[in-house]
Amino acid sequence: MASIFANNNSDSTLFIGGQRVSGAQVRHQNVLAAVAIANVVKTSLGPVGLDKMMVDDVGDVTISNDGATILNLLEVEHPAGKILVELARQQDKEVGDGTTSVVIIAAELLKRANELANNKLHPTAIMTGFRLACREACKFIAEHLAIKVSGIEREILENVAFTTLSSKILGNYGNLFSGISVDSILAVKTTDFRGKPKYPVGSVGILKIKGASATESQNINGFAIHRPYVSQAMQLKVTNAKIACIDFDLSKLRMNLGVNIVVDDPEALEDIRKREVDITREKVKKILAVGTNVILSTRGIDDVYTKMLIEAGAVCVTRISKEELRRIAKGTGATILTTLSNLEGDEVFESSNLGTASTVEQIRLSDEDLVVVTGSKESASSVILRGANDYMLDEMERALHDALCAVSRVLESGSVVPGGGSVEVAANVYLENFASTLSSREQLAVAEFAQALLSIPRQLTVNAAKDSSELVTKLRAYHAASQMANAAPNRASLKYYGLDLTNGVLRNNKNAGVLEPAMSKIKMLKSATEAAIAILRIDDLITLIPEEPKQDPHAH
């Protein structure tokens, strides 16, 4: 056991049971951890990035090239490494895309900061320089590179979705899925309390059904539930649906545990059994009495009551997940009831609790039955994904989620930027020029920040098996020319130039339709900078040794 003694003065001694690492050594360790994590995900960056296969301790396999998914499945022990994992998770939550890029940039910033610190530049000066560089870069992107999207320009939205999907498993079916992404997001438009339009990605339901090829995936304007009706005797289609959403069992009432009933007469026992059935029968009658013809439940239902529903011409779907039921209740205007008891203790079911939809229908895809609710009060959208196996469907869902997020962010923020490394290279050129105007030592940190940004286009070209030195230097020359004060008019479009990784050349990515949400890039830079600074601030790592459980002297 390592122990440390720190003498404040001759007579007071501080004792710590554990290990302490300080100064340059802890910084070096943190940088190693960050770079190790970036090395895991960096080969999965871009449209030609490779996939990773993760196998957990019980043998479950995940195949993905989504940065946040890969890092979530890694068991990271190092505290600095955990910060990067959290960073990718946050980027995934807020923007949906750019999870791999944010980790690569953060690790590159740390590596360069460590070199500066080893050359006797104080960490505080490095942090100030990084913050300044990040602020200037974000301002530059917003003012000079962002292309405003006025209204709903479908072509731009589809291009944004296509760009996001190009680096995923759905890249080969980009045209189909970019259309599905845009339709799904536009269908769930709502407004917040300020009247500003919102496009919540969580409102788009995604169902995964094995069988058929990915090209047979489709978008439904309504809610799709991956469950069949309780009975095959129920009618397949209900029009003018009145929907009850319940979160309790429709099964025979059973006495609570610990309740004893002493019965002398055997006939009385039969009466008790009959009453147990009748209590729930009365509940079902009350639900049907207000005109209910569709019951959606998170729990089960007994056959006795299923027969009642069939006779009444109603349909029922059970064992729906609570999250899905909440979505349907919100869309159809229903109230989810956990009990029929009102405040007075009487059992009632009021018609105001019902939701409405034009049709509820059971359809069959391959060997599986789905129930589809269409024509609800609020617009709704569901995507049915088809694929060969579970691994493929899971990865398709992650890819579609990223595309939905990207389209949603563009609609909410109203600006896009060219992709293919053009933003990073343009910011690199701008920051290098900006650094030369600084007379303080922050100049060194700003220049290193600028260099760190080039790690993205370099990695993109390396992953595409192209010559990174040649392409990146040529791209820098284009952007440098576009930023000159006396830039010729024909050079103005050079700022939209980026990498074409399929052919290994440079092209105008604005015209080519390679577009990304501007918010994605700005958030990426801000998050990476904050994470790098958080790790850079650490100059002491104290690891306490866990206490050993005390042995009981009387134990044998």
Cβ of 207: how many Cβ atoms within 10 Å? 20
Tell me, yes or no, whether 424 and 510 share the same domain. Answer: yes
Tell me, yes or no, whether 374 and 436 share the same domain. Answer: no
CATH of the domain at 326: 3.50.7.10
**What integer is the mean pLDDT of 372-396?**
89
Tell me, yes or no, whether 269 and 356 share the same domain. Answer: yes
In a domain, residue 548? The reply is no
End-of-domain residue from the set 351, 378, 405: 378
Tell me, yes or no, whether 244 and 364 share the same domain. Answer: yes
In a domain, residue 210? The reply is no
- Band the pLDDT of 12: cuts 50, 70, 90: very low
Q: Chain centroid to CA 249: how far?
A: 33
If one counts the domains in the chain, the total is: 2
* Catalytic residue list: 66, 99-100, 402
The whole-number pLDDT of residue 150 equals: 77
Domain that includes residue 277, residue range:
222-378
CATH of the domain at 134: 1.10.560.10
Token representation of residue 261: 């009933």
The whole-number pLDDT of residue 489 equals: 64
Tell me, yes or no, whether 239 and 357 share the same domain. Answer: yes
Q: What is the pLDDT of residues 64-121, one digit of tens each?
A: 888 889 999 888 888 888 988 998 888 888 888 888 999 999 999 999 999 999 998 9
pLDDT surpassing 50 at residue 11:
no
Tell me, yes or no, whether 435 and 354 share the same domain. Answer: no
User: Hey, what long-range contacts does 300-308 have (CB within 8 A, 24 or more apart)?
Assistant: 300/249, 300/250, 300/251, 301/230, 301/249, 301/250, 301/251, 302/250, 302/251, 302/252, 304/252, 304/277, 305/250, 305/251, 305/280, 305/281, 306/230, 306/231, 308/281, 308/284
**What integer is the mean pLDDT of 476-484?**
89
Quote the CA–CA distance of 65 and 203 in Å, as a whole number.
25
In a domain, residue 449? The reply is yes
Q: How many helices (H) and strands (E) does the chain have?
A: 17, 22
pLDDT surpassing 80 at residue 237:
yes
In a domain, residue 537? The reply is yes
The whole-number pLDDT of residue 10 equals: 36
83 and 91 in contact (C-beta within 8 Å)?
A: no
Tell me, yes or no, whether 110 and 236 share the same domain. Answer: no
Tell me, yes or no, whether 355 and 459 share the same domain. Answer: no
In a domain, residue 89? The reply is yes
**pTM here?**
0.85
- Find the largest Cα–Cα distance for the chain: 105
Quote the CA–CA distance of 519 and 94 in Å, as a whole number.
10
Tell me, yes or no, whether 337 and 482 share the same domain. Answer: no
**What integer is the mean pLDDT of 504-521?**
91
| Residue 112 amino acid letter | R
pLDDT surpassing 90 at residue 246:
yes
**What integer is the mean pLDDT of 291-313?**
92
Cβ of 401: how many Cβ atoms within 10 Å? 20
In a domain, residue 193? The reply is no
Tell me, yes or no, whether 251 and 316 share the same domain. Answer: yes
In a domain, residue 317? The reply is yes
Tell me, yes or no, whether 373 and 248 share the same domain. Answer: yes
Token representation of residue 323: 């999250």
The whole-number pLDDT of residue 431 equals: 95
Tell me, yes or no, whether 238 and 372 share the same domain. Answer: yes
